[in-house]
Amino acid sequence: MLEKQKMGNTFNVPCPEMMGINNVDEIKNLLTEAIDSHSDIALQLASVNKIDTTAVQLLIALKQKLESQNNRLILSEPSEQVLKVVKLLGVNTLLGLVD
């Protein structure tokens, strides 16, 4: 189960080990409150050892939504697997995960 913690104007969200089609709705639902409150969101990605295209699409949509509200998506401590997948998909620069 995901939990969020509000620190100032930022919601800190530790992500599960697996982010994908099986739990993307749970992740999206958890982030809805933070998006609606016009806060920055910091996703803690250090423990993610599997991420699929569905979850990456969610990250992109989330980033775009937050930016349209003048807020930020912070991808904190991305695991090697996260970095590998976003680079493979060619969205690492878009998500701000550059070498």
DSSP-derived 3-state class of residue 58: helix
Predicted TM-score (pTM) of the model is: 0.87
Give per-residue burial for 63-75: e unless 16+ CB within 10 Å, then b. Answer: beebeeeebebbb
Per-residue pLDDT of the chain (99 residues; tens, 9 = 90+): 455 555 567 888 899 999 999 999 998 888 887 787 768 999 999 999 999 999 999 999 999 999 998 999 999 999 999 999 999 999 999 999 986
Taking the C-alpha atoms of residue 46 and residue 94, their distance in angstroms, rounded to an integer, is 19
Would you state the pLDDT for residue 6? 56
Look up residue 77 and give its two tokens.
């401590």
